[in-house]
Amino acid sequence: MAPSGPEAALSGSKPARRATPSAFVIPRRVVVTAASFDAVARLLETPRKPTRALRALLHGESVVGEP
């Protein structure tokens, strides 16, 4: 699948890609092993209960260790 939107702009512009911090670049394709795929599938089928920190974050509250 061809990239669209910002991804297309960055993939076509080498200077823009070099100027973008690597922390903000998501690979176009992620390759996983069969075992890791199965692990992710299990987590999606039976999600864990959200942690207290996640619930606080989603409600816009302060989270310990975060500004």
Assigned token pair, 31: 């390759």
List CB contacts of 2: < 8 A, sequence separation 6 or more.
8
How far apart, in whole angstroms, are the C-alpha atoms of residue 51 and residue 48?
A: 9
Domain boundary assignment for the chain: 10-58
Question: 26: pLDDT confidence band, cut at 50, 70 and 90?
Answer: confident
How far apart, in whole angstroms, are the C-alpha atoms of residue 55 and residue 49?
A: 10
What's residue 27's pLDDT? 77
State if pTM tops 0.75: no
